[in-house]
Structure 1
Amino acid sequence: MTKSALLFCFLLLFVGPPPCSIAADPELLQDFCVADLNSSVKLNGFACKAPANVTAADFFFAGLATPGATNNTMGLLVTGANVEKIPGLNTLGVSLSRLDFAPGGLNPPHTHPRATEVVFVLDGALDVGFITTANKLVAKTIGKGEVFVFPRGLVHFQKNNGAEPAAAISAFNSQLPGTQSIAAALFAASPTVPDNVLTKAFQVGTKEVEKIKSRLVPK
């Protein structure tokens, strides 16, 4: 960027929105904005609860303290601690999740469109990885007390290949990072993705597509 362009961006900081900068959450204009989850007001985030109605409970959640049940198809339970569970997180740009894995449990390939994720292993070991936009796999086995980072928006996974249960805590730089599971998004969408799109994309026949759909669509 030339000196004149830099000066232009600098001046725009004082006269209007800076088109040369990277957008980010705005700075807080108050101590907090506890989410009013019952409000009908629609905005990018949640409306603020009246300060007089705010209590300590708005900033508290005990749901990550104990392991969750993993007796399901994936052998996984994800317990979120986001703004929907902790209204006090509204506008603060952070959240957590607890991940509990059965032996062989998998958190299938997915993305978080609004956040980078940092995973910290509590117990056991996990095979983790993400795929770059150049389709390069970046993967590693991490154990208790170790950390791995998944860049925002990139497809990633975690798997417990051990014989014992495993658990981890994930941290996100978003109050509501969102999760889009690749398989479910493609094969269990409503309305459904057309079969001719999926057969061409995956180079398989209609029978194979319908078989996958039958296993992923909730009964």
Structure 2
Amino acid sequence: MMKGVPKMLLVSVALLAWACSLASAYDPSPLQDFCVAINDTSSDHAVFVNGKFCKDPKLATANDFFFSGLDTPRDTSNPLGSNVTLLNVDKILGLNTLGISLARIDFAPYGLNPPHIHPRGTEILVVLEGTLLVGFVTSNPDNRFFSKVLYAGDVFVFPIGLIHFQFNVGKTNAVAFAGLSSQNPGLITIANAVFGSNPPINPDVLAKAFQLDRNVVNYLQKKF
């Protein structure tokens, strides 16, 4: 150990370095104009960045940064009455390393985008049509619930990693657009993850965690 350097200081520096290393899980700032993703990994000159191989910048075209058809209503004839069209790096290859993505969310009357989280992205949502009840819950131990009814033109922010939802409380269809601060924000739908995991979580664990009868847990696991 270096003379004059307290052990606790070295431990603190080590912990800080470890914490900083965790930040690499988020989208890093790009050091070039763009890095268009490609699926062809056979090239000897391909560069692997953010989970994608990149094409030669000289070969990039306008279509690498383009998507058409987001004005078209999506099918909401499903049990939840909602449909999310996510434009992430898999849909727009030019998004690679740029740290953003976009989603269109269609709602049938009383349709729900159920409680979920985006582990790698904050979401900002703007309502184009209809009336949405939205909300998010903070982390333990407070679990504060922030909620608002939104109308056309209203905007709401959902912080990264927090459980949130959108619910169409109107009698007509609703449409919203959401921007996310990651090229691949990820999605964990709470009910699907808890009751629809593969293989299933032990029903006794869920029964105790949610204070439910085991038969109710079995029913929910079959539903999901």
TM norm. shorter chain > 0.5: yes
Structure 2, unmatched stretches of 5+, are: 1-12
User: Which residue matches 2:34?
Assistant: 32
User: Which residue matches 1:92?
Assistant: 98
Contact 2:27 2:182 in 1 (8 A): no
| CA distance, structure 1, for counterparts of residue 20 and residue 61 of structure 2 | 40
Contact 1:45 1:91 in 2 (8 A): no
Alignment match of 2:71 (pick from 65, 73, 83):
65
| CA distance, structure 2, for counterparts of residue 143 and residue 67 of structure 1 | 18
Query: What code does the residue aligned with 1:58 have?
Result: D
Secondary structure of the residue aligned to 2:216 is helix
| CA distance, structure 1, for counterparts of residue 174 and residue 40 of structure 2 | 36
Secondary structure of the residue aligned to 2:54 is coil
**Corresponding position: 1:141 with 2:143:** no
| CA distance, structure 1, for counterparts of residue 82 and residue 189 of structure 2 | 13
1:70-96: CA deviations, max 9, x gaps?
000100000011101000000000110
Alignment match of 1:130 (pick from 128, 136, 153):
136
| CA distance, structure 2, for counterparts of residue 81 and residue 96 of structure 1 | 5
Structure 1, unmatched stretches of 5+, are: 1-11
What displacement does 1:196 show?
1.4
1:178-206: CA deviations, max 9, x gaps?
11000000111111111111111111122
Count of residue pairs the alignment pairs up: 202
Contact 1:37 1:84 in 2 (8 A): no
Secondary structure of the residue aligned to 2:183 is coil
Q: How does 1:155-166 map to 2 (within 5 A)?
A: 155-166=163-174
Contact 2:119 2:185 in 1 (8 A): yes
1:141-166: CA deviations, max 9, x gaps?
01000000000000000000110000
Per the normalisation by structure 1, the TM-score is 0.85
User: Which residue matches 1:180?
Assistant: 188
Per the normalisation by structure 2, the TM-score is 0.83
| CA distance, structure 2, for counterparts of residue 48 and residue 108 of structure 1 | 35
| CA distance, structure 1, for counterparts of residue 31 and residue 20 of structure 2 | 24
Identity of aligned residues (%): 51
- Alignment RMSD: 2.4
| CA distance, structure 2, for counterparts of residue 153 and residue 18 of structure 1 | 20
| CA distance, structure 1, for counterparts of residue 204 and residue 38 of structure 2 | 43
| CA distance, structure 1, for counterparts of residue 18 and residue 108 of structure 2 | 48
Contact 1:110 1:181 in 2 (8 A): yes
Query: What code does the residue aligned with 2:32 have?
Result: Q
Secondary structure of the residue aligned to 1:47 is strand
Contact 2:83 2:107 in 1 (8 A): yes
